[in-house]
Structure 1
Amino acid sequence: MGRDEVISIFREAGAYLEGHFILTSGLRSPIFLQKARVFMHAHLTERLCRALGARIRAEVEGRIDTLVGPAVGGLIPAYETSRHLSVPSVYVEREAGEFRLRRFELEPASRVVVVEDIVTTGLSIRETVACLEKLDVEVLAAACIIDRSAGKADVGVPLIALAQYEVPAYPADALPPELAAIPPVKPGSRGL
């Protein structure tokens, strides 16, 4: 599955939004990819995650024991992708501001892949990798449906993206005039 097909799925689900958005990273963008609108359609989610699973299988050598999704955004894609890889899926969640594997255990030396929905700066994946490294597991790679940075985000491990789609993002104090003229909306989940 290529970038155009992935973006077409987002458009079909009404998940390709245009306006002035405050991203989870704090940056501002004229485009927001509202993956929740895709994830509400099981058949669309299944198509994306089946393709992501195939990409992971093609790029990761050896066995994968578990997929780990950062809450909230990685829960659904990690779960659905795990179905196509026939491995368990678990998730990290914030506790006192840090990601922790609160509800699950991973065996030391487990081979894991972090699965996220959309990457902009890679912060959630870096925080997930840091959490997992404390547990002595081997993080083989991270994977996402869309890499908004088009390969520029450093997530600390190899990043496998179903699609790279560079979307402009700006600091709040450096907005282009046409974006500054639109009232901002914050549709993401971080900080809730």
Structure 2
Amino acid sequence: MKMHSKTLAVRITQAAKLHGSFRLRSGKVSDSYFDKYQFEAIPELLADIAEEMRRFIPDGTEVLAGLEMGGIPIVTMLSQVSGLHSAFIRKTPKEYGTCRYSEGANLASKRILLIEDVVSSGGAISDAVSMLRSDGIEVSQALCVIDRETGGYENLEAHGVELLSLFKQSEIDRHA
């Protein structure tokens, strides 16, 4: 890992690792919590994350598609630094107006890259891939800020999606 990336890992941890008493999704209580939205809320940190992520965008990518909700600020900034158009993927289609699940750039016949903040099981990406593929839009890669290394990579691989990540959780922990 380059020095700039090590510094970025430390900055992400400083912004997002909270201490206190937190009830986790599992119901357990923890004395620390990683609040991924915190690193997205600091403009200069988000810009630096996007600059580093730009290196991971595969050649030939035509549209960056951010997943609701955490992927939206990242895809917006990544679009800005890369010059690629962006789309915003909802968890479910809107029930009014256009009734679409995808807003922004047209995805039909485009080579897209899904963008997410943190991947645990890969479930949100898998759900988006299913929606997109049901409309004939092929997806083969996703890019996230942090792969928590809790099965997401393997689950996505089983669905034919390669997960690229700026950091693995073990790298974040090592530089915390």
Q: TM-score range by the shorter chain?
A: 0.7 to 0.9
Is 1:66 the counterpart of 2:70? The answer is: no
Query: What is the distance in 1 between the residues matched to 2:27 and 2:86?
Result: 30
The structural deviation recorded for 1:132 is 1.3
Deviation per residue, 1:128-161 (Å, 9 max, x gap): 1111112222323101000112665322300011
Unaligned segments of structure 1, at least 5 residues: 168-192
Deviation per residue, 1:27-69 (Å, 9 max, x gap): 858453212211221100010111011122xxx2x41111111
Unaligned segments of structure 2, at least 5 residues: 95-99, 172-176
Partner residue in 1 for 2:119: 119
Query: What is the distance in 2 between the residues matched to 1:158 and 1:49?
Result: 19
Question: Relative to structure 1, is the Cα distance of residues 22 and 47 closer, same or farther in structure 2, using a 3 angstrom cutoff?
Answer: same
- Are the equivalent residues in 2 in contact too, given 1:149–1:165 (CA < 8 A)? yes
Partner residue in 1 for 2:47: 46
Query: What is the distance in 1 between the residues matched to 2:29 and 2:146?
Result: 15
Aligned-residue sequence identity (percent) comes to: 21
How well do the aligned residues superpose, as a CA RMSD in angstroms?
A: 2.8
Query: What is the distance in 2 between the residues matched to 1:131 and 1:53?
Result: 25
2:45 partner amino acid? L
Partner residue in 1 for 2:91: 94
TM-score by length of 1: 0.70
Of structures 1 and 2, the one with the larger relative CO (CA 8 A, separation 6+) is 1
- Are the equivalent residues in 1 in contact too, given 2:122–2:152 (CA < 8 A)? no
- Are the equivalent residues in 2 in contact too, given 1:67–1:89 (CA < 8 A)? yes
More helix by share: 2
Partner residue in 2 for 1:162: 166
Partner residue in 1 for 2:11: 9
Partner residue in 2 for 1:171: none
